[in-house]
Amino acid sequence: MGRRTSHSSGAGSAAPLGLVPRVATAQPQEGRLELHGHVQVRAAADLLPAVRPWVRDMAAAFDLDIALTTSGAETSAARPSAVDLSLQADLPAGGYTLRVEQETVHIACADRAGGQAAVRTLYQLAGPDAYRRSARPGRPLTLPRAEITDHPRFTWRGVLLDVARHFLPKADVLRFIDQAADLKLNRLQLHLTDDQGWRMQVRRYPRLTEVGAWRTESGLGSWRAGVQDGTPHGGYYTQDDLREIAAYASARGVTVVPEIDVPGHVQAMLAAYPELGVGGAQVPVRTTWGISEHVLDPDQRALGFVTDVLEEVMEVFDSPWIALGGDEVPTTRWQDAPQVRARAESLGLAHVGELHGWFLAQVCQHVLDRGRRPVVWDEAFSTQLPTRAVVTSWRGWGQGARALAAGHDVVMAPEQVVYLDHRAGDGPDEPVPVGFLRTVADVYAFDPLPTQVAGTLPPGGGTLLGAQAQVWTEHLTDARRVDFATHPRLAAFAETVWSPEQDRSPGSPASTEFLDRLAREHLPRLDAAGVEYRPLDGPHPWQMRPGVAGHLRDLDAELAAGGWDGLGGWTETSGGAQ
């Protein structure tokens, strides 16, 4: 039969379920359902893709022989199903109900996304062994009896991974997707291009990867320290790699949103095709961090090149959203070039700075014409920006609020809270400590729409789609360091965008409960999955990087200087690029 129900002995009450992110309602009950040997799983046809990764992973982790069939197509009455997934149209979008009963797990899902979320709950209910790739003898898959209802708070539950500053091999990206999916995140913004590297094969412009995908050396620590490592660094993904990454993510409920950052953050592009820059000067792929002044010459040639690249991006990625960057664009080279000043004038712009908005408006329109939605950083929000463009607000919440008021849909990604490359502790052992101090409890207190912001919004306007955590990798040289910066704070972030709204401020009952659940239930899952997270009490000795300089920022001081939303943009000394 492949199932057995055990009842816990004694009078103890049912154990808490330990799910992260917390589900909307959960009623633990006594007893467990045990699956072993041959197991039948039945799903509505639309839900088969949602359950397949679970079937493969559980077969390996618990040595099960799992048969997956479409509901209504059962052939063997001898194998009643142990897990049953059906569609139920009256559930909230992306939601599900899940009942672990005596004989069967019954799951009803609003849609495929609901099925993918339910499956993630099933992984977690099975305990840390569900995250291992092979079975440990004598450990069957057991699930606590329970009744759960659940649905997401926001539709955009994003994480950005910067594979430009440090290339992350494909296998590590797939692993990162597993980790995001486990937390019910559903968008991975893949930052594929920047000054320090270009990571996507483009057939029409092969030099983008031949020249742009590697640099001769990298900064060691903050650029302010002026130390270089003397070691070549590089790598790129072929279009087949990227198709594989997107499909792997999609099967796990995650849409990969590719990001091609223009018209700034393009020095690697200019190293390959110097004619796209102002004056056509040859530049190397940038070997230091910080922000490059080498930006695109915002003319028809650059526009044609970028739209050619985007044609291939949209061939490879079926994402409804295409991210176009638009952040941190120094205009010094435009100001110094008479032909750029003349172009601004001929376009009727008040000054060369407006070419930034003009250029992005053209690129956004191209993406819109192809039936996709552009996503841009908040510097690109201007009256020129098509209203259908999604604005990602990284310089606080204020720009996001203004974009909402102007009718844009918005993703909140304020660097003050959800930049996970920023330091998680203030001790002397934090590796390359940069940015603001944001502990797990600080990230857990993240509010995508604080009341001061909500209060500024006029009626109508755009929709707050959700929020996004960022993993920038100037100082995260490989997957081990990405693990350290990302976890467990990504779990805290995930709960703020998935679980119902509540007071999560540090010291609140919710925060205390979360930190306990994290330590007791979630960290063992990360251990079993082989994720090298930052321990709650500080880094392991081998996670430290003594002698590599960071650069601390003080949130209170900056807030006092600029108001609650008012970091007002980058500068060479206090900007986003560390």
* Short-list 413, 260, 234, CA closest to 322: 260
Report strand pairing: 197-198 vs 255-259.
unpaired
Half-sphere exposure of 161 (CA within 13 A, CB side): 31
Closer residue to ligand ACM (CB): 62 or 223: 223
CB of 364: closest distance to ligand ACM in angstroms? 17
Catalytic-labelled residue, pool 265, 294, 356, 522: 265
Q: How far is the CB of 61 from ligand ACM (least distance, A)?
A: 38
Secondary structure in 3-state letters for 471-488: ECCCCCCCHHHHHHHHCC
Q: Which of 181, 273, 576, 578 binds ligand ACM (CB under 6 A)?
A: 576
Neighbours of 42 (CB within 10 A): 24
Of 143 and 490, which CB lies nearer to ligand ACM in the complex structure?
Answer: 490
Does 328 bind ligand ACM (CB under 6 A)? Our answer is yes
Q: Which is nearer to ligand ACM, 121 or 189 (CB)?
A: 189
Q: Can you tell me which of 248, 394, 446, 498 binds ligand ACM, judged by CB under 6 A?
A: 394
Catalytic residue among 328, 379, 421, 495: 328
Residue placing its CB nearer to ligand ACM in the complex, 394 or 484:
394
165: alpha, beta or left? (left if phi > 0; alpha if psi -120 to 50): alpha
182/327 with CB nearer ligand ACM:
327
Q: How far is the CB of 349 from ligand ACM (least distance, A)?
A: 23
Q: How far is the CB of 570 from ligand ACM (least distance, A)?
A: 7
Angle between helices 170-182 and 112-125 (to 10 degrees): 90
**Catalytic pick among 57, 84, 111, 194:** 194
Return d(Cα 523, Cα 92) in angstroms, integer: 30
* Least separation in angstroms between CB 327 and ligand ACM: 4
Q: In terms of CB distance, is 66 or 295 closer to ligand ACM?
A: 295
Binding flag, residue 261, ligand ACM (CB under 6 A): no
Q: Which is nearer to ligand ACM, 162 or 312 (CB)?
A: 162
Six-digit token string for 267 = 């020095």
Among 379, 406, 378, CA closest to 392 = 378
Count of Cβ atoms closer than 10 Å to residue 544 Cβ: 16
**Residue 422 CB, nearest approach to ligand ACM (Å):** 11
> Cα separation of 408 and 402, whole Å?
9
Report if residue 414 touches ligand ACM, rule: CB under 6 A. no
Residue 328 annotated as catalytic: yes
Is 265 part of the annotated catalytic residue set?
yes
Q: What is the C-alpha separation between 155 and 92, in angstroms, rounded?
A: 11
Residues 26-45, interacting with ligand ACM (CB under 6 A): none
Among 182, 327, 354, 565, binds ligand ACM (CB under 6 A): 327
- Kindly tell me the burial class for residue 488, based on how many C-beta atoms sit within 10 Å of its own C-beta (0-12, 13-18, 19 or more): buried
What is the distance between the alpha carbons of residues 479 and 339, in angstroms, rounded to a whole number? 44
Crossing angle of the two packed helices 48-62 and 239-251, in degrees rounded to 10 = 90
Closest separation between CB of residue 96 and ligand ACM, Å?
34
Least Å distance, CB 424 to ligand ACM, is: 18
Nearer to ligand ACM, 313 or 375 (CB): 375
Phi then psi dihedrals of residue 423, to 5 deg? -65, 140
Q: Tokens for 377, please give them.
A: 């950083």
Please tell me whether residue 474 binds ligand ACM under the rule CB under 6 A.
Answer: no
Number of separate helices (H) and strands (E) present in the chain: 19, 22
Pairing relation of β-strands 141-150 and 214-215? unpaired
Query: How many residues in the shown chain lie near ligand ACM by CB under 6 A?
Result: 5
267-286 binders of ligand ACM (CB under 6 A): none
Closest residue to ligand ACM, judged by C-beta, is 576
Interface with ligand ACM, residue 377, by CB under 6 A: yes
Contacts to ligand ACM by CB under 6 A: 327-328, 377, 394, 576
Could you list the active site residues?
194, 265, 328
